[in-house]
A and B are shown apart, each in its own frame.
Chain A
Amino acid sequence: MESKPDALVRIATQARASVTPPTTKDYAIEMRNVNVYYGSFRAVKDVNLQIEARKITAIIGPSGCGKSTVIRCFNRMNELIPGARLTGEVLFHGKNIYDPDVDPVQVRRLIGMVFQKPNPFPKSIYENIAWGARINGYRGNMDELVEESLRQAALWDEVKDDLHKNALALSGGQQQRLCIARTIAVKPEIILMDEPCSALDPIATLKIEDLMRELARDYTIIIVTHNMQQAARVSDYTAFFTVDEDRAGIMVEYGPTNQIFTRPRDRRTEDYITGRFG
């Protein structure tokens, strides 16, 4: 069943159709005064973060600093956790994705997510891609969509003769690229990646990183990573988070990756990226 376009889809569609060039820097999504609570515990404190469109933004920081919580706020994934609550705004095309008239399912279509562990459906490679598109009401040529998505995910050449093979038979790196293809197939604007390479070997990791650079031509990518070298290699911007005295996650520094990794402004960033804290 085709879902009814909600406020967010309408706004996003209008924005895409607009021929007026943006007058300010082109931000894909923006957090304003975001606080996240799990019950009474404040997990993330006062985050203000503007994500530039069609760039890769890395979120780094020590364990427990709220990186994954923050990235999940970008597509309302935290709502799936009982007791989770958010204050502040997350603006997508100027619209707060937490407004009551916004459908979280549509949010997650426009702002897709790739997880730490590859999680293909136990179905064929073809069906892994076709399924999401189909339930989102895709009415075009499905074969073309599957091929285009697999090509964009740099997987087509490896699987084109085995499209009906079970996706679970693929290697870990291939499975993760299939998950990326599945995300792309529903035409998102933003792709969130939560530790997408932590379960992969170094070669598969480099393939994903190369793929990310390719995808950044068309999509905005936000990645959470524990691997600082990965953040340095792949991202355009880096946000460093740590925990404050209340154990709440706070954003310490945010800027161009080249600056963060060569001359960070904050001592806490310096200590973390040089490996002297964390």
Chain B
Amino acid sequence: MPLRNTLTRQIGQIQDELLVLGSMVEHAALGAVDALKRRDVKAAKAIFEEDQQINEKRFAIENAILILMATQQPMAHDLRQLAAMLEVNTELERIGDYAKGIAKVTMLLGDADIPIPIQEIDQMAQLAVSMLHRALGAFVAEDVATALEIPKEDDKVDELYNVVYRLVVQTMISNPETIDLANLLMWVAHNLERMADRVTNICERTVFCATGELFEVNGMDEDDLNV
């Protein structure tokens, strides 16, 4: 009879909860951009408020991991798995914050007359969420090959970010009165770009979980944005 059934089952339960959190975050990200597209302040407000549930879920998962570490003394792969889940949990919560930030922009814009490069923003969101979805699948499956491939798609998100950046700057130049509002759109693009970076971090944890090796995989780090 295999030993440590309890530990294995409890790790599996936490992993399931992590996937639920991932779904909540994906839903929030796509919903936030959809609300922006439709300029639906009410929907944006709902997403803004639902972030509280994401935060609560994150704390519940963190608590469960810490209890398991304290009570079961996991070692080797079990330990790496729990440590990686702790990290992924935090990354997901931060992605949730980015979605909340986008929802807030929609609320601040209201029905103001400002051109929004929504096609590019929507593409960024679809791509970032797709990366996230597949990264979580790779994390659960400990699929190192996929985890090393996904971050390469970050370049496409960066390209779209640059397109949005230029379009928003053009709006600012052609109509300086829109600068404050256009600046909010910069934040939308920034948040989506950061989402993809967080996905890269999740992929790094997948590699760590499977191999015990900790290193940065291809993708932009937060500091790279700073001049």
A residues contacting B by CB (< 8 A) are: 228-229, 232, 261-264, 269-270, 273-278
With a cutoff of 8 Å between Cβ atoms, the chain B residues found around residue A269 in the complex are: 76
Q: Which 3 A-B pairs have the closest CB atoms?
A: A263-B212, A273-B75, A275-B4
On chain B, the residues within 8 Å of A274 by CB distance are 4, 74-78
User: How distant is the Cα of A261 from the Cα of B73 in the complex, in angstroms?
Assistant: 11
User: Which single residue of chain A is at the shortest CB-CB distance from B5?
Assistant: A276
Query: Is B127 interfacial (CB 8 A cutoff)?
Result: no
Interface string of B198-227 (1 = CB under 8 A from A): 000000000000011000000000000000
How far, in angstroms, from A146 to B72 measured CA to CA in the complex?
Answer: 42
Contact: A276 with B211, CB < 8 Å? no
State in angstroms the CA–CA spacing of A277 and B75 once bound together.
13
For residue A264, give the distance in angstroms from its CB to the closest CB of chain B: 6
A-chain residues with CB within 8 Å of residue B4 when the two chains form the complex: 274-276
Is the CB of B46 closer than 8 A to any CB of chain A?
no
Q: Are B3 and A277 in contact (CB under 8 A)?
A: yes
Q: B80 an interface residue at 8 Å Cβ cutoff? A: yes
B77 CB, nearest partner CB in chain A, Å = 6
| Among candidates B3, B75, B212, residue contacting A228 with C-beta atoms closer than 8 Å | B75
Given contacts A262-B212, A263-B211, A263-B212, contact A275 B77 (CB under 8 A): no
Which single member of B76, B211, B212 contacts A273 (CB below 8 Å)? B76
Task: Kindly list chain A residues whose C-beta atoms are within 8 Å of the C-beta of B73.
Answer: 228-229
Q: Are the C-beta atoms of A278 and B3 separated by less than 8 Å?
A: yes
Distance in angstroms from B26 CB to nearest chain A CB is 31
Nearest B residue to A277 via CB reads B3
B215 CB to nearest A CB, Å: 13
Q: Which residues of B contact A (CB under 8 A)?
A: 2-4, 7, 73-80, 211-212
Q: Are B3 and A275 in contact (CB under 8 A)?
A: yes
Shortest beta-carbon distance from B82 to chain A in Å: 12
Complex CA distance for A232 and B79, rounded to whole angstroms: 13
Q: Are A276 and B3 touching (Cβ within 8 A)?
A: yes
CB distance from A225 to the nearest CB of B (A): 14
Q: What is the CA–CA distance of A263 and B80 in the complex, to the nearest angstrom? A: 8
**CB within 8 A of B76: which of A270, A277, A278?**
A270
Q: How far is the CA of A278 from the CA of B74 in the complex (A)?
A: 15
User: Shortest Cβ distance from B95 into chain A, in angstroms?
Assistant: 27
Known contacts A262-B212, A263-B211, A263-B212: does B3 contact A270 (CB below 8 Å)?
Answer: no
Please tell me if the beta carbons of A232 and B3 are within 8 angstroms of each other in the complex. no
Q: What is the CB-to-nearest-CB distance from B47 to chain A, in angstroms, rounded to a whole number?
A: 39
Partner of A270, one of B2, B7, B77, B211: B77
Hey, which chain A residues are within 8 Å of B3, CB to CB?
Answer: 275-278
User: Which one of B2, B7, B76 contacts A262 once the chains associate, using CB atoms below 8 Å?
Assistant: B76
Chain B residues, Cβ within 8 Å of A273? 75-76
Bound CA span A239–B73, Å: 20
Q: For A264, what are the chain B residues with a Cβ–Cβ distance below 8 Å?
A: 76
Known contacts A232-B75, A270-B76, A270-B77; is-contact A275 B212 (Cβ 8 Å): no
Give every chain A residue within 8 A of B7 (Cβ-Cβ).
275
In the complex, 21 of the A-B residue pairs with CB atoms within 8 angstroms, ordered by the A residue number, are: A228-B73, A228-B75, A229-B73, A261-B79, A262-B75, A262-B76, A262-B79, A262-B80, A262-B212, A264-B76, A269-B76, A270-B76, A270-B77, A273-B75, A274-B74, A274-B76, A275-B7, A276-B2, A276-B3, A276-B4, A277-B3
Chain A residues lying within 8 Å of B2, measured Cβ to Cβ, are: 276
**How far does the alpha carbon of A269 sit from the alpha carbon of B75 in the complex, in Å?**
11
Residues of B contacting A276 in the complex (Cβ-Cβ under 8 angstroms): 2-4
